Amino acid sequence: MNKRTGHTVSDRRPEVIAILPNIRRFALSLTGSMADADDLMQATVERMLDRGLPDDAALLPYTLKTCRNLWIDEIRSQKVRQAATSSGDPLLSGSTTACGEQQALGEISLREVQAVLESMPEDQRAVLELVAVEGFSYRQAAEVLDIPIGTVMSRLARGRTTLAERLKMND
């Protein structure tokens, strides 16, 4: 039982389990690496279990905000130091693809997209993931990321145009 709110995450465990994929995808957008994303996801769940949920909190936005704050305040600097001495980690590994020649084409193109995403600034990846994948409104994304709505708009536009131009150049 959380001392501050009297409201436990365990009470809403099925809901938290249901949004684990959302947390993971968002964590991937922040960290740029699958392994780091899983670490961040775990840290987020631990933080939620420890601190509980405010009664009026919408679960997913609150959880992603917690995730983002953890990344900014605590984990990112550790990962940067680790990355300086490691070989790095692809944005996504072990993804499944369709079979046959379609698989070959799909894998090559998926890797191209992964490579471009990895090269993009983290703040553009994060806002792109929240809006394009999680379906957040600009206002919701702004609240999670603690930035003005105008900044959400500009980062999205830059991210999409960068992706479009770099992928077109690779054709």
Partner 1 sequence: MSGQADANDDAILSAYLDDELALDDARRLKDRLAREPALALRLEQMQSANLAARGVFEAADDLPLPQSVLDLLNENGADNPRATSDEGNVARFPARGLQRYFQTPVAMAASVALAAGFLAGDVLHRTQDADAPVAPSLYADAIPQRSELHDLLETGVSGTPRVLPSGASGRLMLSFENRDGDWCRQFELAQKTGSMQALACRRNDAWHMEALVYGAPVPAGGSYQAAASDSLPALDTAVDEQIGTGEALDLEEESRLISNGWRDPDK
Which alpha helices (DSSP H) does the chain contain, by range? Answer: 13-18, 20-31, 34-51, 59-70, 76-84, 100-119, 122-128, 138-145, 149-169
| Residue among 107, 120, 126 nearest 37 (CA) | 126
Q: Does 113 bind partner 1 (CB under 8 A)?
A: yes
Distance (Å) of CA 149 to CA 126, 144, 146, 160 = 14, 11, 9, 17
Measured between alpha carbons, how far is residue 28 from residues 98, 100, 135 in Å?
A: 23, 28, 16
91 sits near partner 1 (criterion: CB under 8 A): yes
Member of 131, 142, 144, 145 binding partner 1 (CB under 8 A): 131
Is residue 142 at the binding interface for partner 1, with CB under 8 A as the rule? no
Contact mark string toward partner 1, 34..73, x via CB under 8 A: x--xx--xx--xx--x------------------------
Contacts with partner 1, residue ranges (CB under 8 A): 10, 13, 16-18, 20-22, 24-25, 28-29, 34, 37-38, 41-42, 45-46, 49, 91-92, 94-98, 100-106, 108-110, 112-114, 117, 128-129, 131-133, 135, 137-138, 153-154, 156-161, 163-164, 167-168
